[in-house]
Structure 1
C-alpha cells in the first residue's frame, strides 16, 4: 500500500472534488480566467473567516512573503531574523528583496522559534522578524512585541502551514500586529491549486499589495475596462490570483470545518499509535488549537528508516533540510545546534485528510519494524 497523496486521491470518492470541478467549470464557461469578482469573493470570505477587514490574494505563499517584505520597506542592508528550519522559499523571499537572512535556532519540541531565541538574535541591523508557523502551530511573540515595536522591527508571519490555526488568544492572522502570509498551494490544508494571501495590518498596506500584485497599476482590472488609459505608479509584479484558483479555494472553504476535524482526528490517531514505539519523539503542533499540516517524528538512523519505509511504499518525507547549511545560503552559515540535531532526525509521516485510521496504524506498524531493523546500526 502506497500512502502518498496522489494514490489516496485516486482511491477517494469520485464525488469528493465535484464541488471544485463545478466551480472551475463555471469560470471556464464564463470565459474570464484572470482576477475577477470570483477572486474578490475569495478575499472577502478569507477576511470574514479571520474576522479582519481585508485579505489580499496573490499567486502563492512565496509571493505573499515577497510582497509583505516589499511593502514594509525591507531591503538591502536590512537583516531579517528567520528560522533555518523552514522551506527554502522563506529564505528566497528575503533574498529577493536584497535583505540578509539572520538564521536562528528553534525549540526542538515544536520546530518553532521562541521569543527568547528571537531577542537573542536581534542586532542594530534587524528590520524584521519572520517566524515560521511550522506544521500549523501558532507562534506567539506577544512577550516581546513591545520590545520589537520600540526598535521599529516589523513582524511578518510565514503562516503557510497555519490557515485556521490559533494561539492562546487569537486566530492566526487576526490580531493585526503582524503581516500574516498564507499559502494555498497544492498540499496545504486549504488549497486553491496554487495561491496565497497577505493579511495586512492597515488599509494602506492592503492598497500597496494590491498595486504591487498588478504590476504597479493604480486602477483595478474592472476600472481599467471602463477607461482608455491607466497609471503605473510604482514597481510591480504579476501576482494576481486567477479566478480559476479562487474558485477552487471558495469550494474548499465551504467544507474547511470538515478538513479541520479530519486533520485533528488523524493527528491524534498518530499520537496514540506512536505512544507504543520507543525512541520516537512526536513533534508537537498544539493540535487543540492548530490545524495540523504535518505529522512529524524524530527518529534515530533517520536516513535508513526513511529508505526502509520508502522501499515498502510508505510515503514518508523530510520537511525540511535546514537552510543555513544549504550552498545557496553559505554566506550566512552559523552554528544552530538544535536545528542541526533535529535536521538529522525529522521524518514526516503520510498525513492528509483522506487517510483513514487504519492507514495510520499501517504506517506506525511499518515504522516500528523499520526501527527494529535499523536499531543495531
Structure 2
C-alpha cells in the first residue's frame, strides 16, 4: 500500500517517508499506514503526520492528520497528556486555513480500547472516514483527500518555521498553561487570566504564597516562528502577587478602581517591574512574585504610555522599594538601566 500511495499522490521520497504496521507478533488493534514529512518527524511517536487508521472492528478506516501521542504521554502523563494533545488539535484546527470544511470534524472513533488507539483518537486534528468498499469504488476521492491533507501538512511546516516540534508544541500550549508573552496582543487575555486564577486561589494557598522566594536560574525560552526566544509570564504567579498586595496599587495605595467581576475586589493589573524582554540578559528568573507589581489601570497605563517625567516618578518609587528584594533573587539592575528599558530619555 505504501508504494501505491507514494506513486498515486506523487509524494517525493526525498521529502516523505511512508510506512505502516499491522502489528508485530500479533495483529495490531488499529493497523496504520503513516506519511511523514521528514523535516517534521519520521516517527508516529512525536510530531505531526498523515495516517490511515483502520478501525478495530474493520468496519472502515480514517484518513487523519494526527500527532504523536507518545510525546504527550511521556511529557505530561496519560491523563493530562490526553487533555494537552486534544487542546493542541483544537488550536491547530483554528490556525490551519487549508483544512477543507468537510474534514474539520475533531472526533474519530476507532472502536478501540488500547492506549495507542485512544491516543490516535485524541491526537486527530482533521480528516475523513471511509468504508472498506471506498478503496475500490472511490479511488479518485481517496487521492484527492490525501492531496488536501498534504496541503495542510505543508501549511503546518510553514507555521513551525525554525522550531523543533517540541518548541512548537510548547508555544501552542502557552495560554493553556496560563502563560503569556509580554506583548500587547496578549495583554488583555493575560490580565483576565490573572483575575480568573486569583479567584480560584484559596485562603490556604495564601499561606504558601507568603513564604520567602528563592532565586531560580533562568528557564528555557519558548521560540516563535522566526526562531526568536521569548520568556512567558505565568499568570498564576501574577495572581499570587495581586493577592499579596491585597489588590492595592503599589504606587499609591489610596488609588481606587472599579470592582472586578472575577474577584469581587478592586481591579488591579499585574506588571513586571523588570520587563520580561530583558530575561535573556539575566542569569536568574525574572518571573518572580517580587518582580510583579500590582498597579491600578491608570498607573499601569502611565508607566507604559506616560511622559518621561511621569514614568520616571512612578518607576523610581517602585524600584527603590523593591531593589533589595530583587537583588536577593539575583535580579540586579541599576535605576539607569531600568529607565533605559522603559525608553525614558531623562538624565
Q: TM-score w.r.t. structure 2 length? A: 0.25
TM-score, structure 1 normalization = 0.24
From the CA coordinates, give the structure whose radius of gyration is larger: 2
Relative contact order higher in (CA < 8 Å, ≥ 6 apart): 1
